[in-house]
Structure 1
Amino acid sequence: MEQVLQQFRDTIVKATTNKTPLRILGGGTKDWYGQSLQGEILHTRAYTGIVAYEPTELVIVARAGTPLSEIEAALDERNQMLAFEPPRFGAASTIGGVVAAGLSGPRRQAVGAARDFVLGATLVDGKGDVLRFGGQVMKNVAGYDVSRLLAGSMGTLGLIVDVSLKVLPKPFIETTLRFELGQKEAIERLNTWGGQPLPISASAWHGGTLIVRLSGAVAAVKAAVQKMGGEEDTQAAAFWNELRDHGNAFLGDAEGPALWRVSVPPVAPPLDLEGDQLIEWGGAQRWLRTDAGAKKIRAVAEKAGGHATLFRGGDKSAGVFHPLAPAVAAIHRNLKNAFDPSGIFNPGRMYNDF
Structure 2
Amino acid sequence: MAKDVDQGRIIQEQIRAAAASKESLTVVGGGSKAFYGRITSAEDKVLKVAGHRGIIRYTPSELVVTARCGTPLAEINAALAEHGQMLGFDPPAYDKTATLGGAIACGLAGPRRPYAGSIRDHVLGVTCVTGRGEILHFGGEVVKNVAGFDVPRLMVGSMGTLAVLLDVSLRVVPRPQYEVTLAFDVDQHEGMRRMHEWWKAGALPISAACHDGQQSYLRLSGYEAAVNAARARLGGEVYGKGEQFWSDLRDQRMDFFRLTDEESNLWRITVAPTAQPLKLVSDSLIEWGGALRWIKTILPSQVIRAIATRGSGHATLFRGERRYGMVFHPLPEGVYALHRRLKAAFDPQGILNPGRMYPDF
* 1:22 counterpart residue number: 25
Question: Is the Cα contact below 8 Å between 1:31 and 1:37 reproduced in 2?
Answer: no
Residues 212-268 of structure 1, C-alpha deviations (whole Å, 9 max, x = no match): 111001011000000001111243111111001101101244656210011110111
Superposed counterparts of 1:312-351, under 5 Å: 312-351=319-358
* 1:293 counterpart residue number: 300
Specify which of 110, 131, 137 is matched with residue 136 of structure 2.
Answer: 131
| Structure 2: runs of 5 or more not aligned | none
Q: What is the DSSP-based 3-state SS (H/G/I as helix, E as strand, rest coil) of the residue aligned with 1:333?
A: helix
1:54 aligns with 2:54: no
Q: Distance in 2 between matches of 1:274 and 1:349?
A: 30
Q: Distance in 2 between matches of 1:50 and 1:254?
A: 39
- How many residues are aligned here? 354
* 1:35 counterpart residue number: 38
Question: Is the Cα contact below 8 Å between 1:259 and 1:314 reproduced in 2?
Answer: no
**Identity over aligned pairs, percent:** 49
Q: 1:2: how far off?
A: 8.8
Question: Is the Cα contact below 8 Å between 2:268 and 2:317 reproduced in 1?
Answer: yes
* 2:246 counterpart residue number: 240
Please report the RMSD computed on the Cα atoms of aligned residues, expressed in angstroms.
1.4
Q: What is the DSSP-based 3-state SS (H/G/I as helix, E as strand, rest coil) of the residue aligned with 2:252?
A: coil
Q: Distance in 1 between matches of 2:7 and 2:271?
A: 42
Q: Distance in 1 between matches of 2:41 and 2:71?
A: 23
TM-score, with length taken from structure 1: 0.97
* 2:226 counterpart residue number: 220
Specify which of 80, 98, 101 is matched with residue 75 of structure 1.
Answer: 80
Q: 1:184: how far off?
A: 1.9
Q: 1:38: how far off?
A: 3.5
Q: Give the partner amino acid of 1:310.
A: L
Q: Distance in 2 between matches of 1:30 and 1:255?
A: 21
The 1:255/1:88 distance shift into structure 2, 3 A limit, reads: farther
Q: Distance in 1 between matches of 2:192 and 2:261?
A: 29
* 1:261 counterpart residue number: 268
* 1:105 counterpart residue number: 110
Residues 80-135 of structure 1, C-alpha deviations (whole Å, 9 max, x = no match): 11121111011111111111111000111211111211111001111111111111
Q: 1:49: how far off?
A: 0.7
The 1:2/1:205 distance shift into structure 2, 3 A limit, reads: closer
* 2:162 counterpart residue number: 157
Q: What is the DSSP-based 3-state SS (H/G/I as helix, E as strand, rest coil) of the residue aligned with 1:133?
A: strand
Q: What is the DSSP-based 3-state SS (H/G/I as helix, E as strand, rest coil) of the residue aligned with 1:208?
A: coil
1:270 aligns with 2:277: yes
1:304 aligns with 2:311: yes
The 1:61/1:351 distance shift into structure 2, 3 A limit, reads: same
Residues 17-51 of structure 1, C-alpha deviations (whole Å, 9 max, x = no match): 11100111110010010000342111112211100
| Structure 1: runs of 5 or more not aligned | none
* 1:5 counterpart residue number: 8
